[in-house]
Amino acid sequence: MSLTGLTYLVVGATFALYVGIAFWSKARDTGDFYVAGKHVHPVANGMATAADWMSAASFISMAGLIAYLGYGASVYLMGWTGGYVLLALLIAPYLRRFGKFTVPEFIGERYYSQTARVVAVICLIIISFTYVAGQMRGVGIVFSRFLGVDVSTGLFVGMGVVFFYAVLGGMKGITYTQVAQYCVLIFAYTVPAVFISLQVTGIPIPQIAFGSDIAGEDVPLLVKLDQIVTDLGFAAYTSGAKGHMDMFFITLALMLGTAGLPHVVVRFFTVPKVRDARISAGYALLFIAILYTTAPAVGALARWNLTTTIQAGPVGEADANLAYEERPEWFRTWEETGLLTYTDLNGDGRIQYYNDANPEFAERAQEYGWQGNELTVDRDIIVLANPEIAGLPDWVVALVAAGGIAAALSTAAGLLLVISAAVSHDLLKGVVMPRISERQELMAGRLSAAAAVMVAGYLGFDPPGFVAEVVALAFGIAASSLFPVILLGIFSVRINREGAIVGMLSGLLFTVGYIVYFKGYMGPLGGNVAENWLFGISPEGIGVLGALLNMAVAIGVSAATPGPPESVRELVERIRRPA
């Protein structure tokens, strides 16, 4: 069977599975629709959370990012895992104890204010839509590369599947599909990683191969890698190019953002008990860690494979560079997609891959007769091309395609659900029409989920310029708007309505303003370079300052205005105890 046929088969089989689950787990009431009836086992919720959390970015882009940045990419590894410690210790058990349906609902009740609830809904919608647009785009790209259809067709098929199980099953349908999607994606991620580890080091476990000697030699992979990349003018793989202070802020912003992302927080509303919420966060991180500790190994191995394929012999010797005519099969395949390109600048018919932006290396490059870097590789292809580079059988390639789609769909569905719950439960039932019946609310939930799928599809089809900056924006907003008021709402009795509203708005406006100023989609207003940044903090890390500002304002304003009513003090006392 051809690769395309096989890919259709594998992807089609996973889709049939997801749709089957949707039929089996149809939502009967709003409890099912918003929080899966609170019957989800903590281990199942851990898997669902892991799939919910790991998006197209984690699956497709992260290992490539690590391969290029080396140590500098540690911010993503620590930031996107360390946030779960904050979630488990500071947020999840208390919100589960609160025992309602949504994050804005908690903010509305804790701060006894519809305005606070509406502000929280606005933050949630901005965060979730920016995030979901990128996912739909990811689905489209995987489809077009592996199934040979164009990006928009891929997008429609993806929308159709999500539509089916999100609208029909709500949170209940999404939860059990996510469990299946986690299994698909983790299998698809680890199988190629094991084979590549074996090929390079002879050791099958990627986390150990990462620190092992190159097969047949006495030198560790990372030492050899550091050597060859510095010989080519790049920064050493295992030490950083970025300033440590900026890395500190980016890591913290990603952690705070993780703990404040509504689609992640709400997953912990679905388990039966407070105790389950705590333990479930541990399982979620365990399942996430399987991918997150494999990714840096894949990154280093892929960088090694790519570099030594091109630079086959000692740097500087004329015949040490790969001749273009002798390029391997995967090289040709990816050239066709335009994601890998070669231009023979010095006309020697060989490929030179080095850092031509490094002024200290320029002199040596000239000695070698090199006239510029001749190879560009889109970092997103690292994971997708891995099975081909390693020469693995076609079914592995098909599996990777299904895994990429599973990662994108599971995250998209989780995001769409929190959007629809915010509209039907917080805005409609909570503010606009409090007297609608349970059945009408469920219908409104399904309708808003359907509408959200459409908007997400549109955004994925025609992404606004800022979607590329989705990470900075979504995490920055979550860190600076929702996280501080949830945290203060649990750990301080004194913060009142006025403090929370003004705090959320100042954190939100400051962070969005800063990001738009440097990365705005009409072109940055200010040069996005370290000299211009406030305290040397890049837009990716600014959420930390936004969060501090939010807290300072909330505490200051609360001190100057009357404290919350007795009922709120009782609410805080209640959520602090499991029973």
Partner 1 sequence: MKRTYWQENLRLVAICLGVWFVVSFGFGLLLVDVLNEVTFGGFRLGFWFAQQGSIYVFVPLIFFYAWRVTRLDRKYGVGETDEPDASRDD
Instruction: Give least dist CB 32 to partner 1, A.
Output: 14
Helix, strand, or coil (residue 576) = coil
Instruction: Give least dist CB 93 to partner 1, A.
Output: 8
Query: With respect to partner 1, which residue has the nearer C-beta, 71 or 342?
Result: 71
Instruction: Give least dist CB 109 to partner 1, A.
Output: 14
| CB-based burial label for 21 (10 Å; 0-12, 13-18, 19+) | buried
Query: With respect to partner 1, which residue has the nearer C-beta, 245 or 357?
Result: 245
Helix, strand, or coil (residue 447) = helix
Instruction: Give least dist CB 208 to partner 1, A.
Output: 8
Query: With respect to partner 1, which residue has the nearer C-beta, 255 or 442?
Result: 255
SS3 content of the chain, % helix, strand, coil (to 5): 75, 0, 20
Task: Give the integer Cα–Cα distance in Å for 484 and 120.
Answer: 12
Instruction: Give least dist CB 246 to partner 1, A.
Output: 10
Query: With respect to partner 1, which residue has the nearer C-beta, 96 or 117?
Result: 96
Query: With respect to partner 1, which residue has the nearer C-beta, 248 or 458?
Result: 248
Query: With respect to partner 1, which residue has the nearer C-beta, 97 or 327?
Result: 97
Query: With respect to partner 1, which residue has the nearer C-beta, 181 or 258?
Result: 258
Residue in the structure block whose two tokens are 């606070």: 116
Q: Give 331-378 as a DSSP string.
A: HHHHHHHTSEEE--TTSSSB-----TT-HHHHHHHHHHT--S--EEE-
Instruction: Give least dist CB 278 to partner 1, A.
Output: 4
CA 251 centroid distance within chain: 14
Instruction: Give least dist CB 90 to partner 1, A.
Output: 7
Task: Give the integer Cα–Cα distance in Å for 321 and 369.
Answer: 12
Instruction: Give least dist CB 275 to partner 1, A.
Output: 6
Other Cβ atoms within 10 Å of 143 Cβ, number: 25
DSSP state of 380: T
Instruction: Give least dist CB 46 to partner 1, A.
Output: 11
Query: With respect to partner 1, which residue has the nearer C-beta, 96 or 145?
Result: 96
Query: With respect to partner 1, which residue has the nearer C-beta, 35 or 504?
Result: 35
Q: Give 238-273 as a DSSP string.
A: TS-SS-HHHHHHHHHHHHHHHHH-HHHHGGGGSSSS
Bridge partners of 323, per DSSP, are: 350
Using CB under 8 A, list all residues that contact partner 1: 38-39, 66, 71, 74, 77-78, 81-82, 84-86, 88-90, 93, 96-97, 99, 207, 210-213, 220-223, 238-240, 244, 247-248, 251-252, 272-275, 278-279, 281-282, 285-286, 289, 292-293, 296, 573, 576-579
How, if at all, do strands 375-377 and 340-342 pair?
A: antiparallel
- Beta carbons within 8 Å of 330's beta carbon, 6+ residues apart: 385, 388, 389
CA 86 centroid distance within chain: 17
* Phi, psi angles (nearest 5°) of residue 59: -75, -50
